[in-house]
Structure 1
Amino acid sequence: MVRTRVAFAAAALLCSAIVARADDGAIIDRWYSALLVADRSELSDLLADNVRIKLDDLGVVQSKQEFIASIAEWQGAVAGAEIRHRIEKSEGGVTTVIACYDFPSNDMLMQETFAVANDQITASSQAAIAENCDGY
């Protein structure tokens, strides 16, 4: 009987971890969909109020308000673009993504990390890993 309870508890824990990872993946999918069309409302909903977005290549850390304010400029840059992404790993509440930003005049391969809690992004970082998406 004890073995059965332990096995059941282990299975329940595993299932909850899988569901949490799936939920984080859904949040990240929503993020890239909203980013592609510069949807301020959706991006705002996805970001926790105290989020910090670190743009490693620029040496910039943005608050939620600063990030949302920058979307007007981003909207022009993303027109006609495509963003492809895949989750590389998810552990300890942090998901690492490889993303190809395929703009009309160039493309760039990025590594991005997302910390997600309560269905919102609480932290994010972004760093270029290649000047093109050949490695995607």
Structure 2
Amino acid sequence: MGFWKKVDEEIKFSGTITRKTIAAETGINIQTINRAIERDSKIYVEEAFKVAKVFGKPVEYFLEGQFIENSLSDKTKDETNSQLYLYSKHQKLISACESLSENDYRAVNLLASTLAQKIPSYANTNYFTGK
């Protein structure tokens, strides 16, 4: 997976960053961004750093997938890409947990494990909205 495909994935996961946001914050033309994502084009180093900054991530994060795609077995690629997907999806939760004390972290972990075991369809309920 190239740089721009990784950017496209991050846009989907962020919920707040759009292609328009990237264009506004980097000075890269929106049509250029659209074409680059569609074609998974190469990127100039300067632009790569600007785009990574929009997401608050190191540029290596967006280039990591290229290494994974080219140098690992198919099974390892799938597992690694799955882990990267999960990390991207749950990055805010992971960051929040990193700042907890050890006892608080254990409590959150226990709560999450308990919810996952007792209520398998928990994610499909409207528990928080009361509907």
TM above 0.5, yes or no, is no
TM-score, length-scaled by structure 2? 0.22
Structure (1 or 2) with the larger CA radius of gyration: 2
Structure with the higher fraction of residues in strand conformation: 1
TM-score, length-scaled by structure 1? 0.22
Structure with the higher fraction of residues in helix conformation: 2
